[in-house]
Amino acid sequence: MIKLIVGLGNPGSQYEKTRHNVGFLFLDRLQSNCSGSWANEARFHGLVASCIISGQKVLLLKPQTFMNRSGLSVGALARYYKIDAEEILVVHDELDLPVGACRLKKAGGHAGHNGLRDIISVLSENGFYRLRLGIGRPDSGKKVADYVLSAVPKQDAGSVAEVFDLLGEQIASVVLGEMSLAMGNINKKTN
C-alpha cells in the first residue's frame, strides 16, 4: 500500500508551470479532489496535504528544497511517520518518455534525475515506486536544463491533462497496492 505520494518540482512562481514541475502539477490536481489543503511544514521542508483515497489516508508532499535536495524533505517525512520506501510513490518528469506517456515502476536507478538521485541517497535505498511522466527531450543542440525549466507548451497541455485524467482513474489501485493492475492500465494506455 502507498502511504506517501511525493511530487517533484521546484518552489517559486517562476517554475510553477515548467516541465520539471509536472510532479507538483499532478499533486495539485490530486489534492484538489481531497477536502484538505496544503500546509507548509517546516520540519518536512515541504508542503503537505492529507488525502483519503479509497478509504486510505495518504500524505501528499511537495518538497520545497529545490529538485536537487528533494531527499531532505522525503527522508524527514518518511522517518517521522515511519513510512518504508516501498510505501512511497514519487511522481517526476521523465526526459526519456514522450509527452503524453507515463510509466509506473518499482525501484531502479536515477537515470540522471537529480531529484531521484537525492532521494535514493537519503533513503539509502531505491525500492520506492516511481510514476514517470513523459516530457520528451529537447531538440538537438538545446540545453536540457533550459528545456526542463521552460513552460509546458500549449500544444502539449492537452496531452498532459489526458495523462493526469488517466492517473486520477488509476490512483486508487496504486494506493491499495494493486500494482500489477495499475501498471498494466497505465503503461498500456500511454504507449
Give pLDDT, residue 35: 74
Low-confidence ranges of the chain (pLDDT < 70): 188-191
Give pLDDT, residue 36: 74
Q: Which three cell numbers stand for residue 134?
A: 513523459
Nearest to 81 by CA among 107, 60, 104, 52: 60
> Please, are residues 71 and 16 in contact by the beta-carbon 8 Å criterion?
no
Query: What is the homologous superfamily of the domain 4-189 according to CATH?
Result: Peptidyl-tRNA hydrolase (3.40.50.1470)
Give pLDDT, residue 18: 94
Give pLDDT, residue 71: 96
DSSP conformational letter for 151:
B
45 is catalytic: no
Give pLDDT, residue 59: 97
Note the helical H segments in the chain: 22-31, 70-81, 114-123, 144-148, 154-175, 179-189
H or E segment to which residue 57 belongs: strand 56-63
- The one catalytic residue in 20, 45, 92, 113 is 20
- The residue with cell 489516508 is 57
In three-state secondary structure terms, 126 is coil
What's CA 158's distance to the chain center, in Å? 19
Note every long-range contact of 184-191, with CB atoms under 8 Å and residues 24 or more positions apart, other chains counting: 186/102, 186/103, 186/104, 186/131, 187/102, 187/103, 187/104, 190/100, 190/101, 190/102, 190/103, 190/134, 190/163, 190/166, 191/101
